[in-house]
A and B are shown apart, each in its own frame.
Chain A
């Protein structure tokens, strides 16, 4: 029963949603609206569940003095303080919540993302080598596209942006479209297998 009921739910709902998409009838639309009210309710519960889970995990770490338990205090403190500032003073411009966003979240997130530039530079120097003809093509393409992305590319020659555009619009486009078609067909095949009950690994292991 633990597997059969969820399996039946998935199969039935899959067919109902396909029906709703292809048969724009009042009955299917009413069903969809009814389903949406369930989605809204479940989303609210998911938030509560997430907060409870976060508290349980980190409170357990703190109470048992597990390795790096101090970070859990920061996590829970940030959760309580940020939520409280939003609930008490609102989230608009000029509130403590917005101050936290501008002075804590923004610089921290940007710092993490900007590390990418340093790693790319280091990798370009240490690992980007013309070891084979394929690697050479990749390397030359990368240099052309990189130089065309910045104003100096056009200043050197109007052909650099032209060649860069050709690289992006012809070989890149063809490869990306091939990948997209493959992903699309694969997704359709997996969806059909789930709808027909052939693919069951999402139910977890066991009998």
Chain B
């Protein structure tokens, strides 16, 4: 058995070991890497930023996933919440999956630790879990009156009595819905709520689903997407670059400025996606190497078989 035949017959456990090392080492030994922002991510950031400091504008994050896709989606939820809390943008959170309810709580508390002034009911409202059967009635009902469509928040308080609702009634004020999902990309929001009420819809999705979302970005049904860990890393960078320093957003600055992740001033939880991208970089290179080596072996073997025949 020559070298290439040995490579072709390589035990897959060696591949698993290499992948495990390629993932774990970059997570433990953090190195600096550049994050390049893209238009779909910048669009979401810019829209949220335009609501800064306004009592009559709000965004909603719909947590449409469970813990399995957390590694990709949780950093983007944390980054959006951090942006909103820093820039005083009102936030609603909701979920229609019972397994997502603890995630919402976890995300809010993760960010809130750094923002002691942020108050539930004043700066954000966690609507919490609502049964999936009521998904469509709530999506449509919010177009008329949010506090009628969902009467209580996760703590059982009447929405209508909460201070944040004073200037917020429906999609005219809560004008951006971001669905973070491992299985869809905000389809119900842009199919039912956008054409009827004009609400802006964005999606935070796993990388494998990103290709499905492109037709809806082109039509404008989605204002933007955060595609997988890369999208989360881009958003983290934008928050660090602009929101944290109260600077106005600029695409040119975003695309040309590097933000270091080896700097200890930013807590790990706010750069988790960028650190994760280091691991993803190494794994992508490894998989490409696997493909190339596998194909070299395949062609050599094929040529040899032809010669023998």
Contacts and interface: CB of A to CB of B under 8 A. Distances in A.
A16 to B, nearest CB: 15
Say what secondary structure dominates the interface of chain A.
Answer: helix
B290 interface: yes
A108 B99 CA distance: 13
A65 B283 CA distance: 45
Interface stretch (B76-84, B239-247, B293-301): B293-301
B152 interface: no
A170 to B, nearest CB: 9
Interface in A23-50: 36, 39-40, 42-43, 46
B47 interface: no
Contacts of A51: none
* Residue from the set A43, A124, A154, A169 with the largest chain B CB neighbour count within 10 Å: A124
B67 interface: yes
A1 B133 CA distance: 28
B106 A152 contact: no
Contact of A117 (B101, B230, B281, B283): B283
B34 A106 contact: no
Interface string A66-98: 000000000000000000000000011100011
A12 interface: no
A147 interface: yes
A129 interface: yes
A144 to B, nearest CB: 10
Nearest to B227: A149
Contacts of B228: 149
Contact of B215 (A42, A114, A152, A180): A180
A60 B293 CA distance: 52
Interface residues of B, number: 53
Contact of A151 (B33, B134, B207, B215): B33
B105 interface: yes
Given A117-B283, A121-B15, A122-B12, A143 B214 contact: no
Nearest to B7: A125
A129 B10 contact: no
A2 to B, nearest CB: 25
A39 B33 contact: no
Say what secondary structure dominates the interface of chain B.
Answer: helix
A105 B106 CA distance: 13
Contacts of A113: 68-69, 71
B291 A143 contact: yes
* Residue from the set A105, A139, A142 with the largest chain B CB neighbour count within 10 Å: A105
A108 B212 CA distance: 27
A110 B73 CA distance: 12
A200 interface: no
Nearest to A181: B215
A98 B105 contact: yes
Interface stretch (A3-11, A171-179, A188-196): A171-179
B268 interface: no
A150 B283 CA distance: 10
B35 interface: yes
23 contacts: A40-B134, A42-B133, A91-B102, A105-B67, A109-B67, A117-B19, A118-B15, A118-B20, A121-B15, A124-B290, A125-B12, A125-B15, A125-B290, A129-B295, A143-B288, A146-B288, A149-B280, A150-B230, A150-B285, A151-B33, A151-B34, A169-B214, A172-B211
Closest A-B pairs by Cβ, 4 of them: A109-B67, A109-B68, A125-B290, A150-B281
Interface of B: 10, 12, 15-16, 18-20, 23, 33-36, 66-71, 99, 101-102, 105-106, 109, 131, 133-134, 137, 207, 210-212, 214-215, 218, 228, 230, 277, 280-281, 283-288, 290-291, 293-295, 298-299
